Amino acid sequence: MYPFDYFRPDSVSEALDLYRAAEERQWLAGGMTLLPAMKLRLSAPSALIDLAALEEMRGIEVDNGCAEIGAMTLHDTVSRSNLVRESIPALSALAGGIGDSQVRNRGTIGGSVSNSDPAADYPAAVLGLGATIRTTERTVAADDFFTGMFETCLRPGELLLSVRFPVPTRACYMKFPNPASRYAIAGVMVASFDDGVRVAVTGAGPFAFRVAEMENALTTDFDPRAIADIRIPVQNLNEDMHASPEYRSHLVTVMAQRAVDAAI
């Protein structure tokens, strides 16, 4: 790691002031992505602003048909929360399947969502449940939030405060995990609402995306057979040592069918 200065502000306003004062600074949440990247010198901020003391960014509330989760809430907390388990069990299961116990004891939803890692789990939930992202500057719909591989619409210095998930009538997330890291090689969130079904995919493409053809088919007939023949075109899918685009395309259909089957 290159040297850096470290700050741990006590309030969001102090955090924003510190950000403006320093150069090449970066927010530190759980550090489970950022610190390994700094060790590899892929990232070299001159200052880290640690969000750990910002209690106002932690916590879970359910009201008006939505579950709102503060950015600094741990994956472990989401996976064990009775509020989440009762309102959106698919979300607590997703959080409980991220990485391993120690990653879940440090990693946060805000860090995961801000990072837009192509293989991360939360983006599928944010997009598949049609969540709203609240930041220090605005509220953004999930459909406008993820803009590319490791890219979101967040501007420098903008802090993600919370994610608000509408409670679906039924939902399920299924992933085919990388056997070593548990990151998604392909993961699919299927969620049913009164006005239709949403299907979002992570792991397969450069960033999370929806599958309109599956959504339409499932809105008409919520049955795994309704999507058995729908394949994602391979042109835009990821290719790496873990899986080919063709295999990922195949996995998306299988995971989506399993998710529907489990949600019924």
Partner 1 sequence: MKVPVSLTVNGESVSADVDPRMLLVELLREELRLTGTHVGCDTSQCGCCVVHMNGRSVKSCSVLAVAADDAEVTTIEGLAVGDELHPMQQAFHEHHGLQCGFCTPGMIMSAIDLIDRNPNPSEAEIRHWLEGNLCRCTGYHNIVKAIEAAAAEIRSR
Judged by CB under 8 A, does residue 1 bind partner 1?
Answer: yes
Please give the residues from 72 up to 131 whose contact with partner 1 meets the rule CB under 8 A.
76, 99-103, 105-106
Q: How far apart are the first and last CA of the chain?
A: 49
6 binds partner 1 (CB under 8 A): yes
92 binds ligand FAD (CB under 6 A): no
Q: Is residue 39 exposed (0-12), middle (13-18) or buried (19+ Cβ within 10 Å)?
A: exposed
Stretch that binds ligand FAD, among 98-106, 164-172, 224-232, 252-260 (CB under 6 A): 98-106
CA 242, CA 223: separation in Å to the nearest integer?
Answer: 30
**Cβ atoms of residues 142 and 130 within 8 Å:** yes
Q: Which one of residues 77, 112, 162, 192 is an interface residue with ligand FAD (CB under 6 A)? A: 112
Number of residues that bind ligand FAD (CB under 6 A): 32
Smallest distance, ligand FAD to C-beta of residue 102, A: 8
Q: Are 232 and 204 in contact (CB under 8 A)?
A: yes
Check residue 9 for interaction with ligand FAD (CB under 6 A).
no
Between β-strands 151-152 and 146-148, what pairing exists: parallel, antiparallel or unpaired? Answer: antiparallel
Residues with Cβ within 8 Å of residue 205, at least 6 apart in sequence:
118, 236, 237, 238
Residue 19 CB, shortest distance to partner 1, in Å, is 16
Residues that bind ligand FAD (CB under 6 A): 26-34, 51, 71, 98-99, 103, 106-108, 110-112, 114-115, 117, 120-122, 154, 159-160, 181-183
